[in-house]
C-alpha cells in the first residue's frame, strides 16, 4: 500500500532551489507524474517527468518491455561501479 508523503514538496524545498532542474521518475510513470505536479504547485519551475517510467508498460505477456527509460536504450546502472548498461 502506498502512503502519500504530505511533506514531499517541503522536503524537496530543503534540498533544491525553485529554478533547479528536477526530473521525476518511477517504475511506469504513474506515481512520478503526481510528484511533478506537487512540485509545480509548490512553485518549482523546471520540473520534468519521465512519462513512461523506468521499466515502462507491460506487454501482452506481462513483461515490462514496451517502453520506458531502460527499454528505450537510455543509460542506467544497477550498481555503484559507475558503469552504465544499455
- Domain map (residue ranges) of the chain: 19-80
- When the pLDDT of each residue in the chain is averaged and rounded to a whole number, the result is 89
**Cell numbers 521518475: residue:** 25
CA distance 25 to 8: 15
3-class secondary structure, 39: helix
Confidence (pTM): 0.79
Other CB atoms closer than 10 Å to residue 66's CB: what's the count?
14
CA distance 13 to 72: 31
Q: What is the pLDDT of residues 18-55, one digit of tens each?
A: 999 999 999 988 899 999 999 999 999 999 999 999 99
19-80, CATH topology level: Oxidized Rhodanese; domain 1 (3.40.250)
Helices (H) and strands (E) in the chain, counts: 2, 2
Amino acid at each position: 500500500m502506498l502512503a502519500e508523503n504530505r511533506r514531499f514538496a517541503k522536503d524537496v524545498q530543503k534540498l533544491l532551489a525553485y529554478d533547479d532542474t528536477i526530473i521525476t521518475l518511477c517504475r511506469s510513470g504513474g506515481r512520478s507524474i503526481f510528484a511533478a505536479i506537487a512540485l509545480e504547485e509548490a512553485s518549482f519551475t523546471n520540473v520534468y517527468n519521465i512519462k513512461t517510467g523506468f521499466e515502462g508498460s507491460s506487454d501482452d505477456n506481462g513483461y515490462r518491455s514496451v517502453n520506458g527509460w531502460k527499454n528505450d536504450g537510455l543509460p542506467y546502472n544497477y550498481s555503484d561501479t559507475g558503469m552504465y548498461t544499455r
